[in-house]
């Protein structure tokens, strides 16, 4: 029922709502639409643009997708995002989130995503947070459903270590 991603990458988009005026890139598989001309997809690519914040994301998704509430995969990589907007936490079916190559410097921003019970894959490399000691442990601890982080499997040992890491322990006290 669901087709390929709605690809709005490399469109020079700076405001998420401006995406509505763009025509998605065509891929190997053609995009399918419903009778309202909305795309039958659970995936959206907004990578390699100039997006700084995600205000209007829900509005944009509702304009493009036949069923925005079932969005499962969102690529926001290589933009200028500095904060994890609460709008991401409204995407309750989100399973894969690419945020690599942005400008996130505050590690606690990632904690907000802990509300996403289905989120199993995230990319965060290429952000300022990557240089913070205990970065991977922190993310694994606060996103307990992760299976893959930065294109690398999250192991059982890493989960255990995240709970006992000195950096995490001092943050809990």
pLDDT tens string 54-82: 999 999 999 999 999 999 999 999 999 99
Q: By residue range, what is the domain housing residue 154?
A: 6-172
- Report yes or no on 86 lying in a domain: yes
Residue 130 lies in a domain: yes
Would you say residue 156 lies in a domain? yes
Provide the β-strand partners of residue 122: 97, 149
pTM score: 0.93
What is the total count of domains within the chain?
Answer: 1
pLDDT bracket for residue 2 (50, 70, 90): confident
Position 1 in a domain: no
Provide the strand spans (E) within 40-107: 43-45, 73-75, 96-98
What 3-state class would DSSP assign to 127?
A: coil
The residue count of the chain comes to 173
């Amino acid at each position: 029922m669901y087709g390929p991603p709605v690809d709005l990458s490399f469109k020079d988009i700076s405001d998420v709502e401006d995406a509505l005026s763009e025509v998605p890139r065509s891929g190997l598989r053609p995009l399918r639409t419903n009778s309202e001309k909305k795309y039958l997809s659970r995936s959206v690519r907004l990578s390699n643009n100039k997006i700084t914040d995600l205000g209007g994301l829900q509005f944009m998704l509702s304009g493009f997708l036949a069923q925005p509430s079932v969005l499962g995969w969102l690529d926001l990589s290589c933009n200028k995002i500095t904060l994890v907007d609460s709008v991401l936490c409204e995407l309750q079916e989100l399973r894969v989130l690419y945020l690599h190559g942005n400008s996130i410097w505050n590690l606690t921003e990632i904690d907000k995503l802990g509300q996403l019970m289905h989120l199993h894959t995230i990319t965060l490399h290429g952000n300022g947070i990557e240089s913070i000691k205990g970065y991977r442990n922190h993310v694994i601890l606060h996103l307990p459903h992760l299976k893959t982080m930065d294109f690398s499997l999250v192991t059982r040992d890493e989960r255990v270590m995240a709970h006992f890491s000195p950096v995490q322990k001092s943050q809990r006290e």
